[in-house]
Each structure stands twice: as C-alpha cells, then as structure tokens.
Structure 1
Amino acid sequence: MTPQHPSRLPTVPQILLLALMIIGVIFMFVHVLGLAIQLALLVSWFLVMGLGKFLKLDYHSMQQGLTHGISQGMDAILVLVAVGALIGSWMAGGVVPNIIYLGLSVMSPHIFLLAAFFVCMVTSLATGTSFGTAGTAGIAMMGIGAGFDLPAPLVAGAVISGAYVGDKLSPLSDTTVMTASLCKVNIIDHIKSMLYVSIPAITIAGLMFLLVGLSYGQHGNVGRAQEVMHALSQHYVIAWYMLLPAAAVIALLVLRLPSVPVICFGALLGVVWACVFEQMSPVAAFSTLYQGNHVQSDLNFLNILLNRGGIASMLEVILLVMLALGLGGLMEVTGVLTTISNGLQRWAHSLGRLGLSTLFAGFLGNFLGGAAYVSLITASTITAKNYDELGVDRRVLSRNTEAGGTITTPMTPWTDGGVFMATTLGVSTAAYLPFLWYHMLVLLISALYCYTGWCCFQGSGSQAKAVESSQKNSTSSIVLDAD
C-alpha cells in the first residue's frame, strides 16, 4: 500500500529548520557526547515525525513511509551480511593473506597506488559490485599498502576510487541498470554517455595516484614488506591454489550470477580452505563466518589487519543503514523531498543550473536517504522534466544522475556505501574523503560540461518514449547485483 502524503507540503523555512535540527543532533551526539550515530539518526526519526504531525499526517502513514524506505535498501543489507561472512572465512582460510603476500612480492611502493586503483577498477568493471570489490581486492590492497608503510587513508582512496569506476560504468552494476531504467535511456547509450566523463576522470586520477605514489615510494619501507611476508608465511600456507576461491567468485560474478549467493558460496569456500589447508576444525572454521578471524602475530598492525570480518562485524553497519534508510522514507512521505524537488525545478532554467541541480539532488538523496538507491531516484525524478523542456537529451540526465547519486554515496558517512567502505577498509570516511580523486573529478567534469555545453547532447521530450522499449529489452537479461 502506498503511504498517504500530507494534504499540504512543508515550506522551505520548515525544511531548513528541520535540517539544522538534524545536523545539530548528529553533531551533538557524535562529536560532543561521544554517542553512536545510530542514536542520532533514531532521534532524527522523531524530529521528522514531529513535522509530519504538524502537517496533519497520521502515524500509520509515516510508519509505512519508514518501512518503505528501509525496504529499498534490503539488497544492500543482504550483501553486507554476505561480505561480512566472506571476509571472515577468507582471512581464516588464507585467501586474503595469500593475495597480500603475492602483492608484496611483485609490486613496489612507487607504483602501488596506481596498481591498487587499476586492480580495483578492473575487478569492479568485471563484477559490477563496489562492495564485493572492496571486500575482496580492497582489503588485500590495504594489507599490501600497510606492508609498504603507505598512509591507510591514501590507499583507501585508491581502492574506493577504483571500486566505483565499475559501480558507475559496468553493465553488471545494479546502479548502472537502475539509472538507465529510471531515466528511460538505453543502457549501452547510458554507458557511452558516461565515458565522456569517466575516461578523463580515470586518466587524471590514475596520473595523480602515480605521481603521489612515486613521491611516497621514495620512503616506502621494503624491509617492512619483507617482515610482513615472513609473518604471513609463518601463519598461513602460501601457494597458488590458495587464490582459487577468489578466482571462482570473480568468475561467477563475471558470468552475471546474482551477487549474494555467489559471495556466500565464496564464503563457504573459505571455510573449506580453512579446514583443509589451515588445519582448523570445522566448528572453528564455520564460526569465522559469524565471529570473524582471530590470529596472533608478533606484528600488531598485522593482527589488526587480519583479525576482522564475520557477520557480527556488520551488525552495527546494517543498523546504521536501516536507520538512515528509514529517515529517507520519512523525508519522502512527509513531503520534504517533494518540496525540494519543486524548488529545484523552478531554479534550474539553464543548462548549467540543470546539471548542478541533478548533482545536488543525487547528493541530497544520499544525505537524507542513506543509500544510492534513494539518491538515484531523487536525482532522476526531481530534474527529468526540466531536461525535456530545455531539449537536453536524457543521456545527459542519466550521466548526471549517476554522478550525483552513485559517486557521492561513499562520500557521505552514514550511507550504506560510506559505512561499508569505512568498516571494511578500517579507515573513516573523513580520513579517506580527501583522496577520492576519481569521485571529485567526475563531479567537477560533469558540472563543467553542463556550464560549457560540452558533450551535452540535444534531445526532446519524446526521446524517453522512443527508448523505453529498447531499455526493457536491454535490461531484461541482466541480473541485478547489489553493490
């Protein structure tokens, strides 16, 4: 049942007051009182409900909006559970330690940042999942970076930048398919349009990671890398066949099989490897799926790196995502997003403002809704009408929607992507944010194109209907994989 909306919409001053109160609550709880952000979001629920009651909206409708908002992110929540299990068993089974060992033996500190960006980019393009990329190749890159004494936030920036290239471009990514569908653009045309932004962003970001890597490489501690390799060889079997679970998972994802069962299958392979090659008991190996890995090394930082994973490690993340999604559902049902949408539509009367409004609407969906799914909906629906009225092709709409929605997800601390990346890689959002160079370049280039008119195709309002049938044919054979 569709939740009832209030008979009158909130005004802009009321929304600004609500936003200030929510920001104030989050700041007070997290930075002043030292309380969990989950509590701040829970209190924010009641602030939005207070606005709803002021607008004469009944509680039943608000609860429906809340649960509807949470339901939009259930795919991501399932992936969080699966990836948590996979990290735990792959640590125990020696899969990730072997990837770290291999990386330390073949890479150098000078080119490592570029290599981490490239490896995660290729993995995400092949699999279509930023979560799966960060949970597998990403944590391995973090371990190699630590072995080279490189700053963890810088390595995380390279990992997340690479992971979101595929999340944004891969035809296997659910956000790519969802954006094309929402904007009624053929998925191949959508990807081609994004290449105008992504190719220069990838090139410049890669060059930046290379130059910074060359600078840090002068101080890279190869002796530390040898020490890490020795410690890994003391605790794990080092052999080529220890990489087979990772190869199997990537291959199955490339074959377009659903991500959740594939990741769960990979987690079970980790259990088997832990029993067969690491001599763990079946009970202990299975417990790593929930409790994570536990190993003792003489190197403290290696203990921190390897003692992680498990479904239990994701429970706080899942709660945070659910609370953020619920807040987004309440924002929608109380008419807050509708008022913002109407205001942006009146403001965006030029091409430059049109592109900026789409980017802002995507960020707003992440800020208020806590997930890329919400941001893609807000970015596409809020500004779509203006593209048709100004005669701008919807391929530009889909490109800007992906930039404002998908790209800003890991840049917001309480979104599913932001929380997942911070938890999985062990680096806070505030710490890795300055190094998300690919993300920043995508936003800057997208805005530049709109203000200059470069690569902004002309279209008409009828174009959406013309591509709708081909869009259905293009997406019908694609399996949606949660990021």
Structure 2
Amino acid sequence: MKQVRLPSMFEIVCVLTLFLLIVFSFTSYFDLPIQLALFISWFLAIILGLRLGYRYQDLQGMITKGISNGLEAILILVSVGALIGTWIAGGVVPTLIYYGFEFIHPSIFLLATLVICSITSLATGTSWGTVGTAGIAMMAIGQGLGIPLPLVAGAVLSGAYFGDKLSPLSDSTVLAASMSKVDVISHVRAMLYLDIPAYIITALLFTGVGFKYGSKHVDLDKVSYLQGQLTSTFDIHVWMLIPAVFVIVMLALKMPSMPTIAAGSLLGVLWAVWFQDMSFVKALGTAYNGFSIDTGVKFMDDLLNRGGIEGMLGSVAVIIFGLGFGGLLEHLGVLKVIVSKFQHKLHSAGNVTLSTLIVALLGNIFGCAMYVSIILTPKIMEDSYDKLRIDRRVLARNAEVGGTLTSGMVPWSDNGIFMAGILGVSTLSYLPFMWLSFVSILLAIIYGYAGKFIWYTDKPAENTQVS
C-alpha cells in the first residue's frame, strides 16, 4: 500500500472551490438537481484521495461508513413523509389549520407560531416532524391572515429548532452529546444557559413584529372562506387531533421515533377511512404518494397536495450523497487540516467557540447534512477544548448551536431542501428571519469571549457542575 498523506491547503482549496462552483452552477444556472451535483462531488474527493495515496476500495469504504452514520435520519425522514400524507388525508392537519383560524389573533400569531412549534418539537424531538405538521398549519394560517410567508417560516423554524436541540428525544441532541462524550441530560442543562435567553429575545422580536402586522386590517371574509373550504372538504372535529396527541405522548414517553411516527401514520390512514370517507387502499396510498386533491382553489391545492414517502426521496438522496461526501472529507482530514492552520490562535475560550461555530457551518456547507456537521465538529475540535481544559459540555453546546441552527440556512443541505419544500418558501427568503439561530450564535460568541457559562475541568467540582 502506498504511503498516504494529508492534503495540502492548495489541494483542499481546489477541491472545495470546485465543489461550490458545481453546486452553484447546477442550482442557479443550469436548473439541474442538487443531488447530481453532490454525486459528481464524490468523484472530486475520490480523485483527491487517490492523489493522497489511498486505494479506491478504501475511499469507497469511507463513503459507506459516512452514509451509515446517518441512516437513522433517513428512516425518520421517510416516516415523516408518510405521516404528512396520511395526516392531511385523515383531517389532522386541516383541523389544526381550522382551529388556528378560530383561536389565534393576528397580533400574537407569530409568537403563537414560535411557541406552538417549540412545544411540538420539544415533545417529539424532531424538527422535521414539527415543520411537516404544525409548521404546515401555521403557514396556512399566516397566509390567511396576510402575514408574509418568509416571516412565518422564520417563526416556524425558530420554534422547531429550539425544541430539536433541547429535547433529550432529539437525535441531533443525543448525537452532539455522544460525539462530545457528554451525558445527554448534562448537555441539555448546559444548553439552557444559552437557549433560554436566546428564546426570550426571539420571542420579543416576533411579538413586536406581530403587533405591526396584527394592527393592520385582516380580511375576515378571506378567513371565513378558507374555513368554509376546509369544512366542505374535510370532516373537522376536535377528535381529528387524536393521532397528533398519540404521537406526542408516545415520543414524550421516550418511545423509539421511527416506529412511533409510523404508528401515527397508520392512525392517519384509519382516520381518513373512518371520518373522511376514503377507501382504505386510497388512504394507505397517501403514505407513499402523498395527499392529492383538486378543490379548484389554488391556495388550498398548494397547501394540501403534499407529503408521502415519495416526496421525501429527493431529501433522502441529498442526505446519502452529503453523508458520503462528508465521510470522505473526514477520513481524508480536510477539515482537520484547515483547523490546524489556525490552531496556534485557539488560545482562548472565545477563539475556540468561534472556530467551533465556523467548523460546524462548514460541515453543513460541504457535508450537505446536519449529521455530517454534528459528527465531524466534535471530532475536529475536541483537542482544542482539552488543551484549554474547557469542559466537553461547552464543546457539545457549541457543536449543536453551529451544526443544528445553521443546517436550515444552506440551500443545498438536507434541512435547507426539506424546509423550503415543505414550507413553500425558498431557503434564502426565510433565512433572514431565522432569528433564534442568529441570536443563539451571537450569544455563544459573547459567552466565549466574556467567559460566561464556560466551565473548566480543573476548577473545583462545585464550579464545574451545571445545576
């Protein structure tokens, strides 16, 4: 076997620049699928690996190992697709929309969106499931109330990601803790020192903006018309929400995510048969094909015609290609070489925090999947924390802030594609309104340079414990 070596900065810059050129040209100029761009990018990394002395068999093993690290995410995503399709068919999502029109005042709508999505995500541990159910409902209500959809999407994502990175049920929370070698509950407690202030600031921002739009005249005739369309298309009653309550309770009881969400999908099928006069075969088909209806009202059709496993396959492909590319980057030492170039500057908690956030963002940009970022960042940055004797809980917190909260900002990442597709708003349109992400990142940097809520392993025990 040839002697292998680490890549040079010149080689890294060439590969990553070509990657960005391919991604941007495919999506912005040629209108080609991002999945094809990511697949081609595999071969950029493979060529680099061969140049570094690796055998092709070794490089293929790096790809498959990288993909295997994110298989749980693929299973959950497939289950969420089935859930969305059957819950629309069963009247669960339409009922959420109907009662949202009934009870949520325009002035507090954005705040309510933030809170509802936060609670749903905390209870279920999945931002994807939250956006695909409660998020769809809030987008519909927001459009009915005349509130700009990118702003509504920002509130939905702020709530969904808040719960996703705090819930002990969340796979990203568990992964960030385990990769940093930290107990999950200790990780969540450490996150609270950052997340609670960030959430309060975000809530105040959405409240202030909400009053601006709520003070405007709301077209009540349009709201009544949309409610009428829902009641004429679906059987709307409070017991339509039982499948949602079931899933939330089961996940709160720490039942496994994938089978619980699949069971919720089955309830959606049964609700479609029992309450929406749909045949069992057609109702079951919505789990794969998604829900489809022609009401004659474009807004309603755009809102309701979605979901299904088939609709998730594009995102599944992004995750597979992203994880494979990330696996190659990890084993070839690309990000580690980049970090090593400014390792001598990582002499303070502030510099280490900022570097961790940058590495996590790069993981999303070049790995194209949140799981790539959360897996790679602790591995790359752990030595820097250990040298400064900074507690690994700080590493886990910064890795999750940088990895989870920036994942929806990258248009070609798994989260960016999924969120834009489900919410019907482009990534670059909702990005300026992801206020929880921006506030959390800013607070993390401030904490690092100010030395606030930064714990050290060589301090007395009472000062290193998070109460």
TM-score (norm 2): 0.95
Q: Tell me, yes or no, if the aligned pair for 1:89 and 1:285 is still in contact at 8 Å.
A: yes
Quickly say closer, same or farther: Cα 1:368–1:214, change in 2 above 3 A.
Answer: same
* Aligned-residue identity in percent: 48
SS of corresponding position for 2:107: coil
Letter in 2 for 1:355: T
Quickly say closer, same or farther: Cα 1:28–1:371, change in 2 above 3 A.
Answer: closer
Task: Tell me which residue corresponds to 2:281.
Answer: 283
Paired residues, number? 462
The offset of 1:303, in angstroms, is 0.7
- Partners of 2:345 and 2:291 in 1: CA distance: 53
1:152 counterpart = 2:152? no
Match of 2:24 among 16, 19, 27: 27
Task: Tell me which residue corresponds to 2:330.
Answer: 332
The offset of 1:344, in angstroms, is 4.6
Q: Tell me, yes or no, if the aligned pair for 1:70 and 1:326 is still in contact at 8 Å.
A: yes
Letter in 2 for 1:115: A
- Partners of 2:152 and 2:175 in 1: CA distance: 29
Quickly say closer, same or farther: Cα 1:80–1:462, change in 2 above 3 A.
Answer: farther
Q: Tell me, yes or no, if the aligned pair for 2:389 and 2:458 is still in contact at 8 Å.
A: yes
The offset of 1:187, in angstroms, is 2.7
- Partners of 1:437 and 1:170 in 2: CA distance: 20
- Partners of 1:449 and 1:356 in 2: CA distance: 10
Quickly say closer, same or farther: Cα 1:176–1:6, change in 2 above 3 A.
Answer: farther
The aligned runs of 1:90-169 (5 Å cut-off) are 90-169=87-166
SS of corresponding position for 2:106: coil
1:229 counterpart = 2:231? no
Task: Tell me which residue corresponds to 2:200.
Answer: 203
TM-score (norm 1): 0.92
The offset of 1:236, in angstroms, is 0.6
The aligned runs of 1:449-468 (5 Å cut-off) are 449-460=447-458
- Partners of 1:6 and 1:434 in 2: CA distance: 47
- Partners of 2:363 and 2:288 in 1: CA distance: 32
The offset of 1:55, in angstroms, is 1.4
Task: Tell me which residue corresponds to 1:295.
Answer: 293
Match of 1:345 among 343, 346, 349: 343
SS of corresponding position for 2:130: helix
The offset of 1:52, in angstroms, is 1.4
Provide, for residues 26-80 of structure 1, a one-character-per-residue CA deviation record: whole Å limited to 9, x for no partner: 1211111121111111221111112112212211111111111111111111111
- Partners of 2:3 and 2:293 in 1: CA distance: 55
The offset of 1:5, in angstroms, is 10
The offset of 1:228, in angstroms, is 0.7
The aligned runs of 1:1-80 (5 Å cut-off) are 7-80=4-77
Match of 1:366 among 364, 367, 390: 364
Task: Tell me which residue corresponds to 1:88.
Answer: 85
Task: Tell me which residue corresponds to 2:240.
Answer: 242
Q: Tell me, yes or no, if the aligned pair for 1:389 and 1:461 is still in contact at 8 Å.
A: no
1:181 counterpart = 2:188? no
- Partners of 1:351 and 1:135 in 2: CA distance: 38
- Partners of 1:86 and 1:6 in 2: CA distance: 50
Q: Tell me, yes or no, if the aligned pair for 2:117 and 2:130 is still in contact at 8 Å.
A: yes
Specify every segment of 5 or more residues in structure 1 that has no aligned partner in the other structure, as ranges. Answer: 468-483
- Partners of 2:408 and 2:50 in 1: CA distance: 33
SS of corresponding position for 1:111: helix
The offset of 1:183, in angstroms, is 2.1
Provide, for residues 100-135 of structure 1, a one-character-per-residue CA deviation record: whole Å limited to 9, x for no partner: 001000011111110010001011112211112112
Q: Tell me, yes or no, if the aligned pair for 2:292 and 2:304 is still in contact at 8 Å.
A: yes
- Partners of 1:373 and 1:320 in 2: CA distance: 12
Specify every segment of 5 or more residues in structure 2 that has no aligned partner in the other structure, as ranges. Answer: none
Quickly say closer, same or farther: Cα 1:321–1:185, change in 2 above 3 A.
Answer: closer
Task: Tell me which residue corresponds to 2:434.
Answer: 436
Provide, for residues 353-383 of structure 1, a one-character-per-residue CA deviation record: whole Å limited to 9, x for no partner: 1111111111122222222222122221222
Q: Tell me, yes or no, if the aligned pair for 1:344 and 1:383 is still in contact at 8 Å.
A: no
- Partners of 2:431 and 2:378 in 1: CA distance: 25
The offset of 1:95, in angstroms, is 0.9
Quickly say closer, same or farther: Cα 1:213–1:6, change in 2 above 3 A.
Answer: farther
Q: Tell me, yes or no, if the aligned pair for 1:5 and 1:334 is still in contact at 8 Å.
A: no
Q: CA RMSD in A?
A: 2.0
Q: Tell me, yes or no, if the aligned pair for 1:152 and 1:427 is still in contact at 8 Å.
A: yes
Q: Tell me, yes or no, if the aligned pair for 1:113 and 1:158 is still in contact at 8 Å.
A: yes
Task: Tell me which residue corresponds to 2:168.
Answer: 171
